[in-house]
């Protein structure tokens, strides 16, 4: 039995060592995607809005795409009147949107006529500016800015996503 156990022990040891040997590096190469992922980008958009008799006018002061990640997403405005900034793909389908407080309409709380109660009034400004910072979607091709006021939606502007600077 002793003579038989030595070859079996040696065979088991060799099998264990063979299983621990390093395999060729080609066996462990990770699969490389054919399309590389685009680096994350941010869009900084600053605009001036002006009230006119024919409706609001929007002037884009700056639209700049830069590499980077959004640390904390901006919260959507929780007001009935707002400006919506949307990212659209090549087919015009919305990829993402952000609601910004309307720069020309502000709700103000003040003391009432009886000096005992508070009231809310809406103040309409002739012009105002707003700033938006958003994470650009990789397939975004166009930025659309719309005004939502008094239950109506009005397209203010639409422009291509600026190239990364």
Q: How many domains does the chain have?
A: 1
Q: Is residue 144 part of a domain?
A: yes
What the block records as the tokens of 57 is 């006018």
CATH number at residue 102: 2.60.40
Q: Is residue 13 part of a domain?
A: no
For the chain, count helices (H), then strands (E): 1, 9
How far is C-alpha 11 from the geometric centre of its chain's CA atoms? Answer: 61
C-alpha distances in Å from residue 153, one per residue of 57, 83, 108, 133, 165: 14, 9, 23, 22, 32
Full-model pTM: 0.69
Task: pLDDT band for 110, please (50, 70, 90 cuts).
Answer: confident
Q: Is residue 34 part of a domain?
A: no
Q: What is the pLDDT of residues 51-78, one digit of tens each?
A: 988 889 999 999 999 998 888 777 777 7
Q: Is residue 57 part of a domain?
A: yes
The per-residue pLDDT for 27 is 59
| Per-residue DSSP letter, 25 | G
Neighbouring residues of 98: CB distance < 8 A, sequence distance ≥ 6 = 74, 76, 84, 85, 86, 132, 134
The per-residue pLDDT for 99 is 93
Q: Is residue 53 part of a domain?
A: yes
Asked whether residue 7 carries a pLDDT value surpassing 70, the answer given is: no
> In terms of residue numbers, what domain contains 108?
41-160
Give the percent of the chain with pLDDT over 90: 47
Q: Is residue 10 part of a domain?
A: no
More confident residue, 11 or 94: 94
């Amino acid at each position: 039995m002793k003579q038989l156990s030595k070859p079996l022990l040696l065979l088991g040891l060799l099998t264990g060592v063979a299983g621990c040997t390093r395999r060729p590096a080609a066996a462990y190469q990770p699969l490389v995607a054919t399309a590389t992922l685009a680096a994350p980008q941010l869009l900084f958009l600053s605009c001036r809005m002006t009230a006119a008799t024919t409706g609001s006018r929007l002037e884009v002061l700056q639209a700049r795409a830069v590499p980077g990640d959004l640390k904390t997403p901006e919260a959507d405005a929780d007001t009935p009147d707002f400006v919506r900034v949307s990212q659209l793909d090549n087919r015009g389908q919305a990829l993402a949107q952000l609601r910004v407080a309307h720069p020309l309409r502000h709700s103000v709380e003040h003391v009432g006529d009886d000096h005992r109660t508070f009231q809310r009034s809406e103040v309409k400004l002739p012009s105002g500016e707003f700033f938006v910072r958003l994470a650009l979607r990789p397939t975004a091709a166009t930025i659309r800015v719309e005004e939502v006021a008094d239950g109506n939606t009005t397209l203010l502007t639409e422009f291509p996503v600026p190239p990364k600077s």
